[in-house]
Structure 1
Amino acid sequence: MKNIVVFSGAGISAESGLKTFRDTDGLWENHNIEDVATPEAWAKNPKLVLEFYNARRKQVLEAEPNEAHIAIPKLEKKFNVTVITQNIDNLHERAGSKNVIHLHGEILKSRSVLTGKTYHIKSTELNIGDYCEKKSQLRPHIVWFGEEVPKMTEAQAICKKAEILIIVGTSLSVYPAANLIDFTSKNCTIYLIDPKEVYTSKKDNIIIIKDLASKGLPPLVEKLLLQK
């Protein structure tokens, strides 16, 4: 079975109604990134950070997977499929994808600031005074700006083995995740689905599909499933 890697970004979730920040203005739901998505923000005002992610979590739970999310698990009928996503929502899992790596964390989980152990959030909210068993505050299980991406090494190893890489919903501008394309072999066929121009240093074996994720991905999946 061929190894297929789907590398997804904010664009695929945006089609499900989840707003994301854009590098052009540095805002996420009208908040400065520096105020809600950095270790310094957490140290300065953890209550604001928790409230911000509580609102994002509620949005995620109300959102539904779109046609792009739903198309991806169909590939598992014929291929070994790994989804590597920059997104913190669970829409890939809810659509049926079985093997998902979240580079930037998961909004439905918390993490102990003392031990680093993760926990599923039982309700929609995480608040000041929510502790792990060692009485340490729980924070959102999110990789903030300025923090290391712990699953990058695993993701790089998976991309090295990819025979097909599908890039969807990402501008390839958030690093180090954007570097994953450089870990593919010269024999890997790369499909890049995005309605806008996306710059990449990788020029060989790239097939551009200039369309939204929900429009461009389902036909590609059907095409791949028909291959012998």
Structure 2
Amino acid sequence: MTISTEQVPSEDVETRAAAAERLTFFGDAVIAIALTLLALELPVPEGSTNSALLRSAWADRAGYLAFLISFVVIAAHWRAHHRVFRYVTALNGRLTSLTVYWLLLLVITPFATDVISGHGAFQVRFVFYATVQFAACVLFLLMVREIRRAGLHRTDAPAEAFSLVTRRSATAAAAFLVSVPISFLTAYAYLCWILIPVIGPSALARLRRHGQT
């Protein structure tokens, strides 16, 4: 069911639209804070000579790599959020709760980044980070599902806007989930986070083309 301005008083429509807009702005603000916290956690290289400074930066390479990965992850969440919520015209309690929980996980991401860049206990650190990101992806998928189920979007919203972010979020969730058992075999399990989102969609497209022939 979609919300129609012919069935709902104009004042109610405006109120619901304003509430949806406030939630969108709130989400943008929280994501900006998460990115700021992420940058604040970056290790600062130390050294009184060029070589000492470079050695210090190299020693903290894991922290810088974790920062880049987390920045890309949070930016991808923001992009998907922006792509979907520009069509949202109303809220309900379930969507609001899901959004708040999703934002909580994004705020936890800087802490998870600090954890995964630490030394020792690799599997525990890795699983914690991957679990946070997997849960964030699942919550976003539930948000999109609720928007469509409850008709909280504009009637002229293109279906592709929702299906695209659904595919991308589902692929990212799969990448984080698959990486967990692989982390017990190799420290390069994080490559799943890069390879699956890149290879997965093209592989599915080939399978669909093959099935149509």
Whether TM exceeds 0.5 here: the answer is: no
| Bigger CA radius of gyration | 2
Q: TM-score, normalised by structure 2?
A: 0.29
Structure with the higher fraction of residues in helix conformation: 2
Structure with the higher fraction of residues in strand conformation: 1
Q: TM-score, normalised by structure 1?
A: 0.27
